[in-house]
Structure 1
Amino acid sequence: MADDISSFFCYATSLLEINLSHNNFTGTFPKCLANSSLLALDLQMNKLHGTLPDIFSQYLFQLNVNGNEFKGLLPKTLSNCTYLRDLNLGNNQFEDTFPNWLQSLPLLTILVLRGNKLYGPIVELKSEYKFPSLIIFDISCNNFSGSLPKAYLESFVAMKFLDEKVHDSDYYIQTGLGIPEEGKVVTEYDDSLTAIIKGPNTHFAKIPRVFVIIDLSENKFEGEIPDVIGELQGLRDLNLSHNRLVGHIPRSLGNLTYLESLDLSSNMLIREIPSELTNLNLLEALNVSQNQLVGSIPQGKQFDTFSNDSYEGNMGLCGFPLTIQCNNNVPLQQHPSSEGEDKFGFGWKPVAIGYACGTVLGIGLGSCVFWIGKPEWLVIIFLGPLSQ
């Protein structure tokens, strides 16, 4: 459906939730919706443009404008939405710094900022709580720089524990539950998400609570990977690829026993792949390609299932599944034979040895001739018997 929605819902004062996603709506964001008592607004995957208003209902618990053409600054008044649980501003043209003013929201579960023009280092505000309920943190495909946000990673409390006793009725994230609305009835609202899981871009109409995701890929982050990531034991997907990270792969990542996908590709990581990563029994996708890793690839368990693609671009790696064998963890390079070796069955080394031996013999014979004249036996060998 293609149309302008600027005046569609401005007179519908009793609406609590609006879902107009996956259409071809055009125009700007209806300011009347921001000023209303709306609780959930899903406008993802349309063709809306302009800026977002800097005022929203304090009871707003879900805002999804992913996949539009919005630009400008992020609306700071969202920090007043204390019931906000799902904020998806991904795949637009917002140009701003990281919204650290969101960190004190107690219920924020999903924060997606991927695919914008956000920039600069991530500097946290001084706060007792920093994203205490966050389980999906996707800020990929921006221009963030500086070190990885260690202080935030330490504060992701909800990612440190995994509730294995989630009931079937509570399996999916529903942001519309349990929010007081002064007598208003709030229906259950299932969140949706598009994320890169184990490689491909996947859309989830409902988000399982076990989806604990950190995606910081395709930015300009520098420095080392902090060990504290190993404390986020609920993580299912960790993507730090296409940055400028240096140093080694932390051994603490071996503590992420629920991890299903790990992507550290296209950085400048060095040293060996920690053997502790073989503890990741649920790991289905691994990518450490295009780094500067060395040594033997860990063997056993899930590591026996990964292909060459997981390791390409690391000239110092050896062992299965690569064809380069290891000798005391040092790759044994297989030098290709030359054209002469293929044709004649021998190489430059035998030729060099023969040349050296011939030179010594020639010098010896020359010396003999110089000192004692022409030996008769030598003349007979090369010129034949002497005539009488």
Structure 2
Amino acid sequence: MSNNLSGSIPPKIGKLFNLKSLWLWGNKLSGSIPLEIWKLYSLSELDLSGNNLSGTITPQIGKLYKLSQLDLSTNNLSGSIPPEIGKLFNLESLWLFGNNLDGTIPSSICNLSSLGVLQLSENRLQGRIPQCLGNFSTSLTYLALNRNQLYGPVPTTFADGNKLEHLNLNGNKLQGPLPKSLYKCRWLQFLDIGNNEIQDSFPFWVESLPKLRVLVMRSNKFHGKVFSDYLKNDSIFPFPNLQIFDISHNEFTGPLPDGYFQNLVAMMNVRTNKTAGRNRIAYYSESFTLVFKGFEYKLLEILLTFTTLDFSDNKFNGSIPNSIGKLNSLIFLNFSHNMLEGKIPASFGNLSELEQLDLSSNQLQGEIPWELTRLSFLESLNLSNNLLYGPIPHFGGQFLTFENNSYIGNPRLCGYPLTKKCKDDDDDDKAPQPMLKIEGDDSEFLDGFTWQAVVMGYGCGLVFGVTMGCLALLYRRPMWLLKIFLGV
């Protein structure tokens, strides 16, 4: 346990022949792991995580046959994962993330039929993902291989009856289509395949996964229209529990999927979500990385009330469906950098929880609907680089806080905070009237925000404090299972 210990682990520890649990996590220990530790044949739990240990994982680890929990994460270990690790037949959780491990994932890991957690993320692992990882353990609930250098296809061997809940493959070089065998993962709650090189059309079959909360497909090579034949059956609700829907930075075309927006029931249930309160201290447990102003942050929890749609940086066209206004639990909405036309729907005024709205770099026309001034929690607005015209709504508390950058690149907009005045600027108390088209300056706007930055916004306040508290708890025993499940 964490006691601010420093220095190296003494070799004499190898004389504790009957030791069953060794927890030295969260200290300042350095040097290599002494070979004597691999002679503690009675060990069932070994946790050396969160130190500065270096060196390699030696083949002698395969002699600790009684190990059920092994955590060597967040150290400076290097070298490859020894194939002998496949001899630990009683192993239930294996945590090696946050090191400098390289080489391939040994296929011998598939001998660990009792394994429930396999966490190998944030290393330098290369090669293909062993096909056997899809079906080697009926107990596997958590598989994280994100932020490595893996390439090749996603395993196609996911079998009926598997219990996989968390699958994170983000930040590799994976290619090929997304395997339809993922349809068999009926317990799946978190699917992150973002930042790879996957080439495929939209995998409409994932919409029927009944427990899926998080779907991240951003920054791949997905293409084509986003729609589903399942929507012809009125008895089927696609994505019944989806809260984070991120398909940004792909090559999707066609209209926005109105059929989905009309049926995303988990994004409509604002009253249920508010049971956790505006402080949002209920969590869905899964690790993910966010990027904000060039810095990377890792949070262990996703708020149960955090809901987002990010369809930015694609080639969607047509108008924005009015049905978006039904998603009154939305906190983040990003349709920027597409080819959307028409007006901003007045129904956006019903998005009572919305805090971030980015519609920039489209071809939207018309006036900014005054209904947006109802959004009392709106913290960031980006309508730049469109074809909007008329006065900016100048009543409503939040709209008075937005600066020029929110509107820049719409030469026919006028009114505060722009320097271009409207003819009716002196009539502040009147309800909105038909607006005149006024010419103005044209300039560029800064890069848009992402939904990850929204989470960082929470991180700067109460949520970050609560999350870090959870992180400390989850990474520090007494029970390894708390690393995954917190109120789930």
Q: TM-score, normalised by structure 1?
A: 0.78
Give the residue type in structure 1 aligned to 2:310.
Answer: D
Q: Counterparts of 2:192 and 2:155 in 1: how far apart (Å)?
A: 15
Q: How does 1:1-388 map to 2 (within 5 A)?
A: 1=100, 2-7=102-107, 9-37=109-137, 38-57=140-159, 58-126=162-230, 127=233, 128-162=236-270, 163-166=273-276, 171-173=282-284, 190-194=285-289, 203-299=298-394, 300-328=396-424, 329-330=435-436
Q: Counterparts of 1:241 and 1:270 in 2: how far apart (Å)?
A: 14
2:319 touches 2:340 (CA, 8 Å); kept in 1? yes
Q: Counterparts of 1:215 and 1:195 in 2: how far apart (Å)?
A: 14
- Deviation digits for residues 260-313 of structure 1, max 9, x if unmatched? 100000000000000000111111110000000000001131111111111010
Q: Counterparts of 1:170 and 1:292 in 2: how far apart (Å)?
A: 40
- Deviation digits for residues 101-142 of structure 1, max 9, x if unmatched? 111111111111000000001121224121111011000000
Give the residue type in structure 2 aligned to 1:40.
Answer: Y
Q: Counterparts of 1:169 and 1:321 in 2: how far apart (Å)?
A: 32
User: Residue 166 of structure 1: CA displacement?
Assistant: 2.5
Q: Counterparts of 1:100 and 1:7 in 2: how far apart (Å)?
A: 31
Partner SS, residue 205 of structure 1: strand
When residues 333 and 293 of structure 1 are mapped into structure 2, their CA distance, relative to the original with a 3 A threshold, is closer
Q: Counterparts of 2:339 and 2:106 in 1: how far apart (Å)?
A: 43
Q: Counterparts of 1:143 and 1:9 in 2: how far apart (Å)?
A: 36
Give the percent of matched residue pairs that are identical in Structure 1 and Structure 2: 45
1:61 touches 1:86 (CA, 8 Å); kept in 2? yes
When residues 268 and 200 of structure 1 are mapped into structure 2, their CA distance, relative to the original with a 3 A threshold, is farther
1:145 touches 1:219 (CA, 8 Å); kept in 2? yes
2:351 touches 2:375 (CA, 8 Å); kept in 1? yes
Partner SS, residue 167 of structure 2: strand
Give the aligned partner of residue 371 of structure 1.
Answer: none
When residues 6 and 125 of structure 1 are mapped into structure 2, their CA distance, relative to the original with a 3 A threshold, is farther
Structure 1 unmatched runs, 5+ = 174-189, 336-388
2:170 touches 2:196 (CA, 8 Å); kept in 1? yes
Partner SS, residue 295 of structure 1: strand
Give the residue type in structure 2 aligned to 1:13.
Answer: S
When residues 334 and 7 of structure 1 are mapped into structure 2, their CA distance, relative to the original with a 3 A threshold, is closer
Structure 2 unmatched runs, 5+ = 1-99, 425-434, 442-488
Which structure's residues are more often strand, by fraction?
A: 2
* Runs of 4 or more consecutive aligned structure 1 residues displaced over 6 Å after TM superposition: 167-170, 196-201
Q: Counterparts of 1:234 and 1:199 in 2: how far apart (Å)?
A: 29
The alignment covers a number of residue pairs equal to 319
- Deviation digits for residues 305-362 of structure 1, max 9, x if unmatched? 1111110100000011100000144366689xxxxxxxxxxxxxxxxxxxxxxxxxxx
Q: Counterparts of 1:226 and 1:114 in 2: how far apart (Å)?
A: 22
Q: Counterparts of 2:165 and 2:405 in 1: how far apart (Å)?
A: 41
Give the residue type in structure 2 aligned to 1:139.
Answer: I
2:325 touches 2:350 (CA, 8 Å); kept in 1? yes
Give the residue type in structure 2 aligned to 1:62.
Answer: H
Give the residue type in structure 1 aligned to 2:157.
Answer: I
Partner SS, residue 373 of structure 2: helix
Partner SS, residue 4 of structure 1: coil
User: Residue 3 of structure 1: CA displacement?
Assistant: 2.6
Larger radius of gyration: 1
99-108 or 191-200, which moves further after superposition? 191-200
2:413 touches 2:438 (CA, 8 Å); kept in 1? no
Aligned-residue Cα RMSD (Å) equals 2.2
User: Residue 9 of structure 1: CA displacement?
Assistant: 1.6
- Deviation digits for residues 26-72 of structure 1, max 9, x if unmatched? 11102221121222101111111111121214321111100000000
266-275 or 29-38, which moves further after superposition? 29-38
When residues 197 and 275 of structure 1 are mapped into structure 2, their CA distance, relative to the original with a 3 A threshold, is farther
1:236 touches 1:259 (CA, 8 Å); kept in 2? yes
User: Residue 146 of structure 1: CA displacement?
Assistant: 0.4
72-81 or 202-211, which moves further after superposition? 202-211
